[in-house]
């Protein structure tokens, strides 16, 4: 139980460590990080539902181990800047909600459904290309390429930009060799270069609402009448760009690997793809979602699972551990395609829940259904694959597959 939760050795397979935490220290305090690690589903669920600016991502939701070791707070830290406007995930209420509402329109369920035809066409086009090869990387060549093209479409970028975007995101989500973890600040530096030209183009075009992701932020006005700067707008859109490429592709590839490893379950899903794919996708999300945690900083004293937390201390909500909690799921370490899932934690919860949840589910569902309908058999070349031991995004980053159609 003394294991460092950020250890690269531990992250080769963190699940046994998470199980030990859930059983013996569900609210585990690490003084070197001044952080409480929550590992049980109910505690994570409860913490993420706390409002009233008690728990915020002020120090960002992905602080590096180096930052946590060297920055301990003497009381509640200042709220993130609202003038100029800090990155969206760090903002307190009501600014967080205002920024979210300004660009959420194309990510709402009805708007996502309107994207279905484009997503289906994109999936078919990419599948045509990779199936012709016979052997390809299920993540980079297929799933992440689809996701990158969809994000380009939402941002109004030429689809030819997708490979460059894909390369940037792949680079950003690897472990930082100096600081450990993932350098959250680098997200914004690198992606600002991609997003600011889009914002400038929308301003020049009049931001008439034809690009709902950007135009709402361009047209937003503060109480004093000031418009947001290009960088302020980019700060609100960065997470959409990076998460839109990253997570759904990993769930798709890893989920298909799990399903093809269980021929009986695969046959059951194939018996009625329209009815069964949404069910198996829900289990894929629970079982393979790559995000390990999300961090919050306390701005007020409060209590979680009987443990007092002082203002300024941090809480790490271990999402992956919660998704494997025996108290919430029967036989949680087994992949069961039609499992009943009453509550989903993989997309987060509360104020900072994933803004692209509905888009991700449609993308994964479309890719899984298309792959199963067109691929007769698949050999997953796991020995040639690559796993990311990152303490944030854990799992496959390259997964070669040899297929028969």
Res. 179: pLDDT tops 60: no
Closest CA to 253 of 72, 126, 159: 126
The CATH number fitting domain 10-404, selected from 1.10.630.10, 1.10.579.10, 2.40.30.130, 1.10.260.40: 1.10.630.10
Question: What average pLDDT score do residues 150-166 get?
Answer: 94
| pLDDT attached to residue 182 | 58
> Which secondary-structure segment (H or E) carries 395?
strand 395-398
Q: State the pLDDT confidence band at 191, using cuts at 50, 70 and 90.
A: confident
> Residue 396 above 70 pLDDT?
yes
Please report which confidence band the pLDDT of residue 174 belongs to, taking 50, 70 and 90 as the band edges.
low
Q: What confidence tens digit (pLDDT) does each residue in 58-105 have?
A: 998 888 888 999 999 999 999 999 999 999 989 999 999 999 999 999
Q: What is the pLDDT of residues 12-25, one digit of tens each?
A: 889 999 999 999 99
Give the per-residue pLDDT at 189.
78
Q: What is the pTM of this model?
A: 0.95
Spatial CB neighbours of 192, under 8 Å, sequence gap ≥ 6: 231, 234, 235, 238
What pLDDT, on a 0 to 100 scale, did the predictor assign at position 245? 86
Provide long-range contacts, Cβ within 8 A and 24+ apart, for 3-10.
4/65, 5/30, 5/37, 5/316, 5/391, 6/65, 6/180, 6/181, 6/391, 7/391, 8/175, 8/180, 8/389, 8/391
pLDDT at residue 167 in the model? 87
Q: What pLDDT was estimated at residue 41?
A: 98
| 3-class secondary-structure state, position 263 | helix
The 400-404 sheet, strands edge to edge: 135-137, 400-404, 377-380
Give residue 184's pLDDT: 60
Mean pLDDT value across the chain:
92
At residue 175, the pLDDT reads 58
- pLDDT (tens digit per residue) in 24-60: 999 999 999 999 999 999 999 999 999 999 999 999 8
pLDDT confidence of 187, banded at 50, 70, 90?
low
């Amino acid at each position: 139980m003394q294991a460092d939760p950020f250890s690269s050795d531990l992250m080769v397979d963190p699940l046994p460590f998470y199980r030990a935490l859930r059983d013996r220290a569900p609210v585990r305090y690490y003084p070197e990080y001044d952080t409480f690690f929550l590992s049980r589903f109910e505690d994570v669920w409860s913490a993420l539902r706390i409002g009233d600016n008690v728990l915020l991502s002020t120090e960002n939701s992905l602080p590096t181990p180096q930052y946590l070791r060297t920055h301990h707070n003497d009381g509640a830290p200042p709220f993130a800047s609202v003038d100029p406007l800090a990155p969206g995930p760090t903002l307190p209420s009501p600014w967080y909600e205002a920024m979210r509402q300004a660009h959420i329109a194309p990510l709402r369920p009805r708007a996502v459904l309107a994207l279905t035809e484009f997503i289906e066409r994109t999936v078919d086009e990419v599948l045509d290309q990779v199936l012709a090869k016979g052997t390809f990387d299920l993540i980079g060549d297929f799933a992440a390429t689809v996701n990158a093209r969809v994000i380009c479409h939402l941002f109004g970028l030429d689809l030819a930009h997708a490979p460059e975007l894909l390369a940037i995101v792949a680079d950003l989500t690897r472990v930082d060799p100096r600081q450990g973890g993932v350098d959250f600040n680098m997200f914004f530096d690198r992606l600002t270069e991609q997003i600011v030209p889009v914002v400038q183009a929308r301003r020049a075009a009049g931001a008439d609402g034809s690009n709902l992701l950007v135009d709402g932020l361009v047209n937003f006005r503060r109480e004093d009448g000031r418009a947001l700067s290009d960088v302020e707008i980019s700060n609100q859109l960065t997470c959409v760009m990076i998460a839109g490429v990253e997570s759904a592709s990993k769930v798709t590839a890893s989920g298909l690997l799990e399903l093809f490893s269980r021929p009986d379950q695969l046959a059951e899903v194939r018996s009625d793809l329209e009815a069964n794919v949404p069910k198996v996708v829900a289990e894929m999300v629970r079982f393979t979602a790559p995000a390990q945690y999300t961090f919050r900083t306390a701005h007020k004293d409060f209590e979680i699972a009987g443990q007092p937390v002082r203002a300024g201390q941090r809480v790490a909500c271990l999402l992956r551990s919660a998704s494997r909690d025996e108290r919430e799921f029967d036989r949680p370490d087994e992949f069961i395609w039609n499992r009943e899932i009453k509550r989903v934690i993989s997309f987060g919860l509360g104020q900072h829940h994933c803004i692209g949840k509905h888009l991700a589910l449609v993308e994964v569902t479309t890719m899984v259904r298309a792959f199963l309908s067109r691929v007769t058999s698949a050999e997953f070349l796991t020995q040639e694959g690559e796993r990311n031991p990152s303490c944030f995004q854990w799992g496959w980053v390259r997964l070669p597959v040899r297929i028969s159609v």
